[in-house]
Amino acid sequence: MVIKKDWFKVSSDVQFTMDLAATLVLFLFIFFYYRLNRRGTVKNLGGPNLQTGPSIETMRFIRHKKIIAGFLVSLFFGLATYSLGHWIYETFFAAIPGGAPAKDINKIFFE
């Protein structure tokens, strides 16, 4: 195996390194979450007594989780709308000298 000395000068190598680092960070987050869950620090949502309903802490947790989920969904749709609008602008309205713009559908979300 040949190791290049100019690894970070090639953009595809830098992108590969960033993808590996992000994958490692996500793995560590999942690993620590499951480790905490096994120890019992992540509480059961059933509450102490199923007849009386969930506890106040459980209801607070559910409310916070719904707020975070609502924020993330709105952020996702905002980013998707921005990406679609940018692609439509580039494809149909941007004046590119020397030819027609490339109509690559993969540019909407994957770049």
Answer yes or no: do 1 and 36 share one domain.
Answer: yes
Sequence-distant (≥ 6) Cβ neighbours of residue 57 within 8 angstroms:
43
pTM metric for this prediction: 0.45
Asked if residue 23 has pLDDT above 70, the reply is yes
- Give the range of the structural domain holding residue 105, as residue numbers without chain letter: 47-111
Answer yes or no: do 56 and 33 share one domain.
Answer: no
Question: Which one has a higher pLDDT value, 111 or 70?
Answer: 70
Q: What integer pLDDT is reported at residue 105 of this predicted model?
A: 64
Answer yes or no: do 64 and 101 share one domain.
Answer: yes
Answer yes or no: do 70 and 107 share one domain.
Answer: yes
Q: What is the 3-state secondary structure (H, E, C) of 64-81?
A: HHHHHHHHHHHHHHHHHH
Answer yes or no: do 56 and 109 share one domain.
Answer: yes
